Amino acid sequence: MPALNVEFSDRELEDLRQIAKERGTSMKALVREAAAADIARHRALQEGAEAFRRFFASHADEFAAAFPEDEPHSRSEGRVA
């Protein structure tokens, strides 16, 4: 399995030791669990953002009608000839 060396400050390392001890786990397991949770959260946010983009795109006309003040203005609008 690929590995990654991660450097911590003395304070961070001591905090990790304390947390691992409190949870009854190893420091390696604690760090791996934190990284895996962050990866899962990142993936979920990406999927949620993509679902929102699809929803917004499929209802763009409805949003434009409901919120006309948020629609971009064309360059020629508001110009005096």
Q: Give me the pLDDT at residue 80, please.
A: 56
Predicted local confidence at residue 1, as pLDDT: 84
Q: Are 26 and 20 in contact (CB under 8 A)?
A: yes
Residues 42, 53 contacting (CB under 8 angstroms): no
Q: Angle CA(70)–CA(74)–CA(77) in degrees, nearest 5?
A: 105
pLDDT in tens, 15-47: 999 999 999 999 999 999 999 999 999 999 999
Q: What is the number of alpha carbons within 13 Å of residue 53 lying toward its C-beta?
A: 6
33 within 8 A of 24, measured Cβ to Cβ: no
What's the pLDDT tens digit per position in 42-78? 999 999 999 999 999 999 999 999 999 999 876 555 5
